[in-house]
């Protein structure tokens, strides 16, 4: 089978675009190229990957249940002693879903980017990075062993850095990229330690073998429970970095400094879901440690709540979506924490659809509003950008959890498992429900303020000359602005077809995507069974009627929140008044609970000061002296030894004989 082409095609796209960029565009005086060709190359590559992923999926579907596995061994990377690292790919029922999402949503976003980055100065570089990212992400989900997964893990971290800081001339944006990378790195340290522990206890890092070992109860009973918990927690630390949970989520909101398609692809649909993938992949291991599961569930729930509260007070459209992503990721971890890994994966898929949709929609809005991102300065876009409006509406309803849209099914599955599943916790369910209400609330707020009501901006001021306000959305200064609307209609307008078609497709998916996981007829759960064992019968503490009641409760709660938000924001003045009433709280929310500042004060400043002390005092004072001393001794010895080389043949011959005789004497003495 052609497994290796799935990641290889984007890699080829990266190479082509990269070379073209490096060799042609980087020459001084090269003329600015359009986004068409690099975009086309990149999109074609990822689309072909999608087709191959589809073929693999159908092939797996045709196989009997226990044989749903395709493996491809590429080459042996490193063989040192007992440690054997093979470069091999494997797709089973879990990873095929992920590859479909990555390549499918990826194709749509690539297509979108051709329109969005149309006037960027260096499209070749952008599309090269996008393809590289897809390559890394595909390696992550298709790797057959932890090191390959880690390779992809690091790769997406790198690409995230490159793409967030894409407009690196702006220091702020560059810092956002750095922050992302560093936060990821802290998590990775946990991941690596977790990997070491797995290797020590399992003797292997390959998923097939690990799963096999975990299936044998005689093996699992011999495992040291503390070690298992430690491993799970360390691996989870990696997840908190990559998938933006407490405590390492702080990079994701800042990551909105990058271009919107990047936010859509990386921070909605793919990279941030790598943590969930890893949890699902190793679910048997995590299920062994009740402590770790509890920690994961609690952190997931808290993160969901925290991020939702912050989202209420954000005015930047992208920041709202960013915090919403963190919050939804919290849901996914909550699901995994209570043992419902399938529900977590389900939410990954539906979230990919509607969050990518909303990010792309936001991009469309920003594009149409000439770089304006503050929702307080928008309004009434319903008539001006109809397609965006409708698709965004779909996304909004989906994320709020209203049936029969996608978000309802997945969120409900999670809440249901939290309430009544084998590791249930009513307390966490309550948090989850409250967060769902908050989600509906802030989403409605954002939707209303952006699209409904009367415009709060001066349309005439936008257009050919000005670019409204660009707070966070600058470009390379001077030439490249992708909305230089000297052409085209003045004022706010709908985005071109290249950008709206993906929106429509994603909207459709957000509507129907939920049907793969209808409770009690869940195709998805059945499909994932080889990887994620289903629940035993009678595992749920509440019967079917109870389930129906819970469902209705959550829908009503969401609807209630929507109605409340609608009412509030229809009358802006009263909303303002209410804000003033809770000014302190609002300020805290708007400033993200001052988390960043807290980190700065507790971790970053002290470490920095310690570093300076160590540098000046210890490094320069002690170590440098020792090292330089060594150097001086070596030099001196060298000069001394050098003088032996007198250049005279005689001396050389004498040395020869001398050496011979001495060694001989020593040898023969041993024999006597």
Partner 1 sequence: MDKLNVIDPSFLTLSGDQLALLGPYFWMIGAALLAMIVGVIRFLPSKWTVFAVAMVGILGGLFVSANQIGMDRADLFGGMMVADGFSAFFNVLFLGTAALSLCASLKYLDKEKLQYPEYTILLLFSTIGMMLMASALDLITIFIALEIMSLSVYVLVGFRRNDRRSNEAAMKYFILGAAASAILLYGSALLYGSTGTFVITEILARISAKGDLMTPVFHLGAWMVLAGFLFKIASVPFHMWLPDVYEGAPTPITGFMTTGVKAAAFAAFIRVFVAFGYGKDLTSAVEGRLHDVLWVLAVATMFIGNVIALTQTNLKRMLAYSTIAHTGYLLVGMIAAPHAESGFAPVAMYLAVYTVMNLGAFAVLSVLAGRGDTGLNLHDLSGLGKRHPWLAFSLAIFLFSLAGIPPTAGFASKYYLLYSAIQAKEVWLVVLAVLCSAIAVYYYLRVLVYMYMREPQADTPSAKDFTPAAAAFAVAMMVAMTLQIGILPAKMMAITKRVVAKL
Partner 2 sequence: MNEINPGVEPWLVQSFCAIIFFIGLAGVMMRRNILVILMSVEIMLNAVNLSFVAFSRQHADMGGQMAVFFIIVVAAAESAVGLGLLIAMFRTLKTVDTDEIRLLKE
Per CB under 8 A, residues contacting partner 1 are: 75-81, 631, 634-635, 637-639, 641-642, 644-645, 647, 649, 651-653, 655-656, 658-660, 662-664, 666-672
Residue 571 or 645 having the CB closest to partner 1: 645
55-60 long-range contacts, CB within 8 A, separation 24+: 55/2, 56/1, 56/3, 56/6, 56/91, 56/96, 56/99, 57/96, 57/99, 57/100, 59/1, 60/91, 60/92, 60/93, 60/96
Length of the chain (residues)? 672
Out of partner 1, partner 2, none, what residue 666 binds, judged by CB under 5 to 8 A for its kind, is partner 1
Shortest Å, Cβ 628 to partner 2: 25
- Near partner 2 by CB under 8 A: residue from 222, 460, 626, 649: 649
* Site for partner 2 contains 217 (CB under 8 A): no
The secondary element (H helix, E strand) that includes residue 90 is strand 83-92
Residue 454 or 639 having the CB closest to partner 1: 639
Angstrom distance (rounded) from CA 98 to CA 343: 14
Q: Let me know: does 377 contact 456? Beta carbons within 8 Å.
A: yes
Residue 222 or 641 having the CB closest to partner 2: 641
* Site for partner 2 contains 648 (CB under 8 A): yes
CA distances, 523 to each of 105, 331, 515 (Å):
21, 21, 9
Residue 593 or 636 having the CB closest to partner 1: 636
Shortest Å, Cβ 664 to partner 2: 13
Options 271-279, 295-303, 623-631, 641-649: segment touching partner 2 (CB under 8 A)? 641-649
Shortest Å, Cβ 624 to partner 1: 15
* Site for partner 2 contains 650 (CB under 8 A): yes
How many Å is the maximal CA-CA distance in the chain? 108
- DSSP string covering 58-87: HHHHHS-GGG-EEEEEEEEEEEETTEEEEE
* Site for partner 2 contains 646 (CB under 8 A): yes
Number of residues that bind partner 2 (CB under 8 A): 11
Shortest Å, Cβ 644 to partner 1: 8
Q: Let me know: does 332 contact 344? Beta carbons within 8 Å.
A: yes
Residue appearing with tokens 């990696």? 238
Shortest Å, Cβ 461 to partner 1: 51
Q: Sign of the CA dihedral 153, 154, 157, 158?
A: negative
Shortest Å, Cβ 650 to partner 2: 6
Angstrom distance (rounded) from CA 333 to CA 351: 13
Residue 385: name the closest of 403, 357, 365 by CA: 365
Residue 460 or 667 having the CB closest to partner 2: 667
Out of partner 1, partner 2, none, what residue 663 binds, judged by CB under 5 to 8 A for its kind, is partner 1
Options 474-482, 498-506, 592-600, 646-654: segment touching partner 2 (CB under 8 A)? 646-654
Residue appearing with tokens 């209570």? 338
Structure-block tokens of residue 569: 């924001």
Angstrom distance (rounded) from CA 39 to CA 35: 6
Report the 10 Å Cβ neighbour count for 383.
10
- Near partner 2 by CB under 8 A: residue from 642, 668, 670, 672: 642
| Residues with Cβ within 8 Å of residue 670, at least 6 apart in sequence | none
Residue 31 or 642 having the CB closest to partner 1: 642
Shortest Å, Cβ 144 to partner 1: 17
- Near partner 2 by CB under 8 A: residue from 604, 654, 662, 665: 654
Shortest Å, Cβ 656 to partner 2: 8
Angstrom distance (rounded) from CA 258 to CA 319: 12
* Site for partner 2 contains 640 (CB under 8 A): no
Residue 76 or 646 having the CB closest to partner 2: 646
Shortest Å, Cβ 205 to partner 1: 16
| CA trace torsion 84, 90, 95, 98 (10° rounding) | 90
Options 23-31, 384-392, 398-406, 637-645: segment touching partner 2 (CB under 8 A)? 637-645
Options 50-58, 298-306, 465-473, 652-660: segment touching partner 2 (CB under 8 A)? 652-660
Residue 465 or 639 having the CB closest to partner 2: 639
* Site for partner 2 contains 638 (CB under 8 A): no
Shortest Å, Cβ 646 to partner 2: 6
Options 107-115, 305-313, 408-416, 648-656: segment touching partner 2 (CB under 8 A)? 648-656
Out of partner 1, partner 2, none, what residue 66 binds, judged by CB under 5 to 8 A for its kind, is none
Q: Kind of pairing, strands 83-92 and 69-80?
A: antiparallel
Shortest Å, Cβ 660 to partner 2: 9
Options 154-162, 280-288, 524-532, 650-658: segment touching partner 2 (CB under 8 A)? 650-658
- Near partner 2 by CB under 8 A: residue from 81, 478, 647, 670: 647
Angstrom distance (rounded) from CA 107 to CA 53: 12
Residue 376 or 662 having the CB closest to partner 1: 662
Residue 268: name the closest of 208, 212, 318 by CA: 318
Could you check whether the bond before residue 40 is cis, i.e. omega within 30 degrees of 0? no
Shortest Å, Cβ 100 to partner 1: 31
Residue 415: name the closest of 565, 512, 555, 241 by CA: 555
Structure-block tokens of residue 564: 């409340």
Residues of the shown chain interacting with partner 2 in the complex, contacts defined by CB under 8 A: 642-643, 645-650, 653-654, 657
């Amino acid at each position: 089978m052609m497994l290796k082409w799935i990641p290889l095609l984007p890699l080829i796209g990266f190479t082509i675009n990269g070379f073209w960029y490096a060799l042609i565009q980087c020459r001084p005086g090269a003329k600015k190229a359009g986004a068409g060709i690099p975009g086309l190359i990149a999109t074609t590559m990822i689309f072909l990957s999608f087709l191959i992923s589809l073929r693999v999926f159908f092939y797996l579907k045709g196989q009997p249940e226990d044989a749903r596995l395709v493996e491809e061994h590429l080459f042996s990377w490193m063989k040192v002693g007992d440690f054997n690292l093979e470069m091999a790919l494997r797709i089973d029922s879990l990873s095929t879903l992920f590859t479909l999402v990555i390549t499918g949503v990826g194709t749509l976003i690539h297509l979108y980017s051709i329109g969005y980055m149309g006037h960027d100065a260096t499209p070749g570089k952008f599309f090269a990075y996008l393809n590289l990212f897809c390559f890394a992400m595909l390696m992550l989900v298709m790797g057959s062993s932890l090191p390959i997964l880690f390779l992809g893990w690091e790769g997406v971290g790198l690409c995230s850095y490159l793409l967030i800081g894409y407009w690196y001339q702006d220091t702020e944006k560059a810092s956002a990229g750095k922050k992302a990378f560093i936060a990821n790195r802290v998590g990775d340290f946990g991941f690596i330690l977790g990997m070491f522990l797995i290797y020590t206890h399992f003797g292997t890092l390959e998923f097939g073998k690990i799963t096999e070992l975990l299936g044998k109860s005689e093996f699992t009973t011999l495992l040291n429970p503390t070690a298992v918990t430690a491993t799970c927690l360390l691996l989870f630390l990696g997840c908190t970095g990559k998938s933006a949970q407490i405590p390492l989520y702080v990079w994701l909101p800042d990551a909105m400094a990058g271009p919107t398609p990047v936010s859509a692809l990386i921070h909605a649909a793919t990279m941030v879901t790598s943590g969930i993938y890893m949890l699902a992949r190793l679910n048997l291991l995590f299920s062994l440690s009740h402590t770790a599961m509890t920690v994961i569930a609690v952190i997931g729930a808290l993160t969901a709540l925290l991020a939702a509260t912050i989202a209420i007070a954000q005015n930047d459209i992208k920041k709202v979506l960013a915090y919403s992503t963190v919050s939804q990721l919290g849901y996914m971890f909550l699901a995994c924490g209570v043992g419902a890994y399938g529900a977590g994966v389900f939410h990954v898929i539906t979230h990919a659809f509607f969050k990518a949709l909303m990010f792309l929609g936001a991009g469309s809005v920003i594009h149409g509003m000439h770089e304006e991102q503050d929702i307080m300065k928008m309004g009434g876009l319903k008539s001006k950008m109809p397609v965006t409006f409708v698709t965004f509406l779909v996304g909004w309803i989906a994320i709020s959890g209203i049936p029969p849209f996608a978000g309802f099914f997945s969120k409900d599955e999670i809440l249901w498992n939290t309430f009544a599943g084998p590791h249930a916790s009513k307390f966490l369910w309550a948090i989850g429900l409250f967060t769902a209400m908050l989600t509906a609330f802030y989403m409605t707020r954002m939707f209303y303020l952006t699209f409904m009501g009367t415009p709060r901006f001066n349309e005439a001021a936008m257009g050919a000359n000005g670019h409204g306000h660009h707070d966070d959305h600058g470009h390379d200064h001077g030439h490249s602005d992708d909305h230089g609307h000297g052409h085209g209609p003045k004022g706010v307008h709908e985005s071109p077809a290249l950008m709206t078609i993906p929106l429509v497709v994603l909207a459709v998916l957000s509507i129907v995507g939920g049907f793969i996981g209808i409770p009690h007829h869940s195709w998805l759960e059945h499909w994932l069974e080889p990887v994620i064992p289903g629940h035993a019968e009678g595992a749920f503490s509440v019967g079917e009627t109870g389930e129906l009641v819970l469902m209705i409760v959550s829908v009503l709660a969401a609807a209630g929140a929507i109605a409340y938000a609608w009412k509030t924001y229809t009358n802006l003045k009263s909303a303002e008044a209410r804000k003033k009433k809770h000014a302190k709280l609002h300020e805290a929310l708007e400033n993200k609970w001052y988390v960043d500042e807290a980190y700065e004060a507790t971790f970053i400043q002290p470490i920095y000061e310690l570093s300076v002390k160590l540098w000046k005092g210890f490094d320069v004072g002690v170590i440098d002296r020792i090292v330089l001393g060594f150097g001086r001794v070596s030099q001196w010895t060298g000069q001394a030894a050098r003088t032996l080389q007198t250049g005279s043949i005689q001396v050389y011959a004498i040395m020869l004989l001398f050496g011979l005789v001495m060694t001989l004497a020593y040898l023969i003495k041993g024999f006597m």
